[in-house]
Amino acid sequence: MNSHNKMLTSKYYTEIVCVIAVIILSSCTMYGPVFIKSERNQYNQAIQKTNDEQLLLNLVRLKYHENPLFMEVNNIASQFTLQNEIGLGATLQAGAKGIFTPSTSTYVEERPTISYSPLHGENFVKGVLTPITLKTIVLLFHSGWSIERVFKVCLQRMDKLKNAPSASGPTPKIAPKTNKFFKAAKLLHEIQTQGGLEVTYRIFDGEPQLVIYISNSFKNSPPANQFARLLNTNLGKMSYIFSSPSIKDKESIDIVTRSLLGVMFYLSQAVEVPEQDVTEGKVAVTKTVKGEVFDWAEITGELLHVYNSPSSPEDAGLKIFYRNYWFYINDSDLISKSTFSLLAQIYALQSGE
């Protein structure tokens, strides 16, 4: 009888061990892919969201004449430890030696290590203060961006047509003039939407150049002729060569680009601040030649609009809390979201090679 009980007990223990082994092995094979799928997406969304929040925060800081700060996420190392706890419970009954019930619990412990570094020194100069290259302008055009939006954001001047060069720094005191530049950019966009525009980059005599081509079927179109008049060139012109003002080439047209910081100063004028901060002199006010307060929406209105609210906005696509106020971009404001996306791409391009 004792021998029979020992055999049953041994068999019972063997079954318990097998059950526990199956649970552990199935946990290892089941949880791994699940964690990769869920956690990777969460990190992806968190990095993208915080990058956008950092850009928006720096725009607000520049509006208040404060120094921007860029923190780069250099590395993310996340370790997942699968923990299994095993136990045996016994229920004693009359006339029985004991009935053992196995119990297991499984949980995952995550140990992320995230390293940051502020952008400063040589990297800061190269990425933030260096003017955007003509090659980058062409790259953005061929990425599908409107030439009007790219030129408005990235250029300070095209020939004698100025695009608020004083706005590439702290808020200017006198309102800049952009009418002719904006008109030229809009005319190029009209030709682009009809498929009659091409923009290329080339090196000529060792110097970078941006070349705008207007197709033969559009060279005498009203937009092309108006653009030629704005640049004081002959009507029916099919190509326009732009290069740095330092190049002594009579055939090329001067073009001046902004730096990334200049772009951000320029777009910071789209930040709407609380009236109290204006009254208390916490932000600079631009005035017209007549002494009236200048409305920056005349320049940035078709590019970007950052609202403010004392309470957390429900319709925000992107928001940050700063100086006891919420600053946000409306989720339905596709124009502002597009310009902000362009800014994020410029930042990414300027940060790398």
Within 10 angstroms of residue 306's Cβ, the number of other Cβ atoms is 26
φ/ψ of 197, rounded to 5, equals -125, 140
Positive or negative torsion for Cα 213, 218, 224, 225: positive
Every domain of the chain and the residues it spans: 2-49+72-117, 121-351
pLDDT of residue 350: 83
**271: number of CA atoms within 13 Å, CB side?**
30
Counting residues of the chain whose pLDDT is more than 90, the rounded percentage is: 61
pLDDT of residue 242: 95
Q: Are 78 and 40 in contact (CB under 8 A)?
A: no
More confident residue, 274 or 80: 274
- The pLDDT confidence band at residue 105, using thresholds 50, 70 and 90, is low
What is the token pair recorded at 162?
């100025």
In angstroms, the CA 81 to CA 99 distance is 33
Counting residues of the chain whose pLDDT is more than 70, the rounded percentage is: 77
Whether the full predicted model's pTM is greater than 0.85, yes or no, is no
Question: Residues with Cβ < 8 Å from 288, sequence gap 6 or more?
Answer: 174, 175, 294
pLDDT of residue 339: 97
Check whether 240 has a pLDDT greater than 60. Answer: yes
1 burial via Cβ count (<10 Å: 0-12, 13-18, 19+): exposed
Check whether 276 has a pLDDT greater than 70. Answer: yes
Check whether 228 has a pLDDT greater than 90. Answer: yes
- The pLDDT confidence band at residue 8, using thresholds 50, 70 and 90, is very low
Check whether 85 has a pLDDT greater than 90. Answer: no
pLDDT digits (tens, 9 = 90+) for 192-213: 999 999 999 999 888 899 999 9
More confident residue, 46 or 78: 46
Check whether 246 has a pLDDT greater than 80. Answer: no
Q: Which of 110, 108, 104 is nearest to 24 (CA)?
A: 104
> Mean pLDDT over residues 274-284, rounded?
94
Check whether 81 has a pLDDT greater than 60. Answer: yes
Which H/E stretch holds residue 12? Answer: helix 2-63
